[in-house]
Chains A and B, each alone.
Chain A
C-alpha cells in the first residue's frame, strides 16, 4: 500500500482509512456513510443467516456467493451426495461434486447468484443499503 501523506481528495481519504485499519488502528465509520447488510434465507422456513456488513454491494454479493458455494452447498449437497452414494451406481458423487466445484470456480459471483436463485427456489438472499447514524 502506498503511504498517504496528505488528504487531497476523497479517494485519498478512503485509502488513508484503509491503511489505518490494515495496520490495526481502530477506526469507526463516519456518520452518513453507507454500508451493505447481507443475509441468506431459506424460503418458507423463516430461517436466515446474517452474513455481515460490507463496504460495497459487490463485496456483499461476493460473500453471499461464497457462502452459498462453501457453506450452503456443503451442508445441503455434500451429505446428500454421501447418502446417494451406493443407492445409484451411476450417480458418482465425486464426479458430481467436481463438476459443481469447476462450475463455481469458472463462474462470477453474479452468475452464481443468478443461477442459484433460478435453480434452487429454497434459498434466497437480501442485501440492504444502510446509512450509518
Chain B
C-alpha cells in the first residue's frame, strides 16, 4: 500500500484510511492490535426507560455496528431472558401470573398470545427493533456514546 504525501488534511486522511485498513486486516488475522490513541469508539448500552438496569454491550467501530448490537440484544437476549422464562412460569398458571397474561382468560388464549410473540420475534430483525425503540415503543432504550481513546 503506498500513497503520495502532500501537506494537506486530505492526504493525511487518505493515508489514515489505508492505515485503518491495514490495522483492521491485521486484527482480523488474529494479530493483537491496540487501537491508537485519539481514535473513537462507540460505547453502547441498553437500559430501561428510567435508566435502571443498564446492560453494557461493549465498544464498536461504527454507529451501525453499535445499533445492530443493540437491536440484536433486545431481540434475542432480552426476550429470551425476560419473556421465555416468564412464559414457562405462566403457562399452567394463567390466572395468577403475568402482566399481559392477566388480560387473557384461558390457557389456550395464553398459548396463542405467546406463539404470536415468538412468531413476531422470528419475523423481525434488529433494525426493526431499533426502529420501534426510536418510535418510543417498548420499555427499553439504548445509549451510544462516542468515546475518544486516550
Hey, which bits of chain A sit against chain B, CB under 8 A? 3-8, 10, 12-14, 16-35, 37, 52-56, 59, 63, 130-133
Hey, which bits of chain B sit against chain A, CB under 8 A? 1-5, 7, 9, 12-13, 15-16, 18-24, 26-28, 31-43, 58-62, 65, 69, 147, 149-150
Say whether chain B's binding surface is mostly helix, strand, loop, or mixed. Answer: mixed
- Chain A residues whose CB sits within 8 angstroms of the CB of B31 once the complex forms: 10
Kindly name the residue among B12, B28, B32 whose own CB sees the greatest number of chain A CB atoms within 10 A. B12
A7 to B11 CA separation, bound complex (whole angstroms)? 13
User: Which B residue's beta carbon lies closest to that of A38?
Assistant: B150
- Contact B36–A18 (Cβ < 8 Å): yes
The distance from the CB of A20 to the nearest CB of chain B, in whole angstroms, is: 4
- Contact A54–B149 (Cβ < 8 Å): yes
- Chain B residues whose CB sits within 8 angstroms of the CB of A27 once the complex forms: 16, 20, 36, 38-40
A4 to B35 CA separation, bound complex (whole angstroms)? 18
Total number of residue pairs linking A and B with CB closer than 8 Å: 166
- Contact B15–A20 (Cβ < 8 Å): yes
- Chain A residues whose CB sits within 8 angstroms of the CB of B60 once the complex forms: 31, 132-133
The distance from the CB of A76 to the nearest CB of chain B, in whole angstroms, is: 24
Kindly name the residue among B39, B41, B43 whose own CB sees the greatest number of chain A CB atoms within 10 A. B39
- Chain B residues whose CB sits within 8 angstroms of the CB of A56 once the complex forms: 34
What are the 9 A-B residue pairs with the smallest beta carbon separation, nearest first?
A: A21-B38, A32-B27, A20-B16, A5-B5, A29-B35, A13-B19, A30-B24, A16-B19, A33-B35
User: Which B residue's beta carbon lies closest to that of A5?
Assistant: B5
Would you give 8 A-B contacts (Cβ < 8 Å), ordered by A? A4-B19, A13-B18, A18-B36, A23-B9, A28-B41, A31-B27, A33-B23, A133-B69
Contacts beyond the supplied A7-B15, A37-B59: 15 A-B pairs with Cβ under 8 Å: A4-B5, A13-B19, A18-B36, A18-B38, A20-B13, A27-B16, A28-B39, A28-B61, A29-B59, A30-B21, A33-B24, A33-B27, A53-B147, A55-B34, A56-B34
